[in-house]
């Protein structure tokens, strides 16, 4: 299968998880979702990532985001690993961890990179919109843990730009000024942003973040 691209429909699948069996499209219906892979159970970096994700549950919940982890190990290993996560990270797993021993999900989402490893997944992360289309994908090597502040930042940007005709500048965080998209001319922008904006160039117009 060719690599998934931004805007592609996220592949559907049926799997067993630590929260029971699920069909992916049914589970995320009407919500934003994060699907992220882990090279293997009982590995140090993965353990810290799953603990961090569990600690951020309130942050994902307030954004309406459902989170799903995936590892190529069987469900029995997942359940045993949960105890280690709770013991070492001080938090219980509170989202589904998908068992993918047949590499079904890993193959559908291109999570196995043969030149890195033909057995284990890289650290792939997909943000999927309520329309079930892929909005973002980030890939890390197996040795580098993810920056979850960045994951939340990008979700904030994606959700904001999905509702308003704006883009977010470099290093933007929620509350900073945003950019009016060039496709919105000044006349249309006046109706949408009646309090005005700051023009740096005709194509670069800054406006306070819409509420």
Which CATH number is 123's domain given?
3.40.30.10
69 and 168 part of one domain: no
Residues with Cβ within 8 Å of 171's Cβ and at least 6 positions away in sequence, in order, are none
Examine residue 155 and state whether it is found in any structural domain, yes or no.
Answer: no
Q: With beta carbons less than 8 A apart as the criterion, state whether 28 and 35 touch.
A: no
Q: What digits encode the pLDDT tens for the residues 5-27?
A: 999 999 999 999 999 999 999 99
179 and 115 part of one domain: no
Helix axes 44-55 and 75-89, enclosed angle (nearest 10): 70
19 and 94 part of one domain: yes
Structure tokens at 180: 């009016």
87 and 183 part of one domain: no
Examine residue 156 and state whether it is found in any structural domain, yes or no.
Answer: no
54 and 138 part of one domain: yes
Examine residue 152 and state whether it is found in any structural domain, yes or no.
Answer: no
Q: What is the pLDDT of residue 154?
A: 97
| Domain assignment of residue 72, given as a range | 14-144
Q: What is the pLDDT of residue 121?
A: 60
**CA 73/CA 40 separation, integer angstroms:** 6
103 and 185 part of one domain: no
42 and 86 part of one domain: yes
Examine residue 107 and state whether it is found in any structural domain, yes or no.
Answer: yes
Examine residue 159 and state whether it is found in any structural domain, yes or no.
Answer: no
Examine residue 6 and state whether it is found in any structural domain, yes or no.
Answer: no
- Give the β-pairing of 166-167 and 178-180: antiparallel
Q: How many domains does the chain fold into?
A: 2
Examine residue 106 and state whether it is found in any structural domain, yes or no.
Answer: yes
138 and 170 part of one domain: no
What average pLDDT does the segment 123-140 reach? 95
Active site residue 188: no
Q: What digits encode the pLDDT tens for the residues 166-207?
A: 999 999 999 999 999 999 999 999 999 999 999 999 999 999
Is pLDDT at 72 greater than 80 in this prediction?
A: yes
99 and 178 part of one domain: no
What average pLDDT does the segment 64-80 reach? 95
105 and 172 part of one domain: no
Examine residue 95 and state whether it is found in any structural domain, yes or no.
Answer: yes
Q: What is the pTM of this model?
A: 0.92
The CATH number linked to 189 is 3.30.1020.10
Q: What confidence tier does 39 reach under pLDDT thresholds 50, 70, 90?
A: confident
Q: Which of these is catalytic: 4, 15, 46, 134?
A: 46
Q: With beta carbons less than 8 A apart as the criterion, state whether 37 and 70 touch.
A: yes
92 and 192 part of one domain: no
């Amino acid at each position: 299968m060719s690599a998934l691209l931004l805007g592609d429909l996220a592949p559907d699948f049926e799997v067993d998880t630590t929260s029971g069996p699920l069909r992916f499209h049914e589970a995320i219906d009407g919500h934003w979702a994060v699907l992220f892979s882990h090279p293997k159970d009982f590995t140090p970096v993965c353990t810290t990532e799953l603990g961090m994700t569990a600690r951020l549950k309130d942050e994902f919940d307030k954004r309406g985001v459902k989170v799903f982890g995936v590892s190529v190990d069987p469900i029995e290993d997942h359940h045993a690993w949960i105890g280690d996560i709770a013991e070492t990270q001080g938090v219980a797993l509170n989202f589904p961890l998908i068992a993918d021993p047949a590499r079904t999900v890993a193959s559908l989402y291109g999570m196995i990179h043969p030149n890195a490893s033909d057995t284990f997944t890289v650290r792939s992360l997909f943000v999927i919109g309520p329309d079930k289309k892929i909005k973002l994908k980030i890939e890390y090597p197996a040795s580098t843990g993810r920056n979850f502040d960045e994951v939340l930042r990008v979700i904030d940007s994606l959700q904001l730009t999905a509702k308003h005709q704006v883009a977010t500048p470099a290093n933007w965080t929620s509350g900073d000024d945003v950019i009016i998209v060039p496709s919105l001319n000044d006349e249309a922008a006046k109706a949408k942003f009646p309090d005005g904006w700051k023009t740096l160039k005709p194509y670069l117009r800054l406006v306070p973040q819409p509420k």
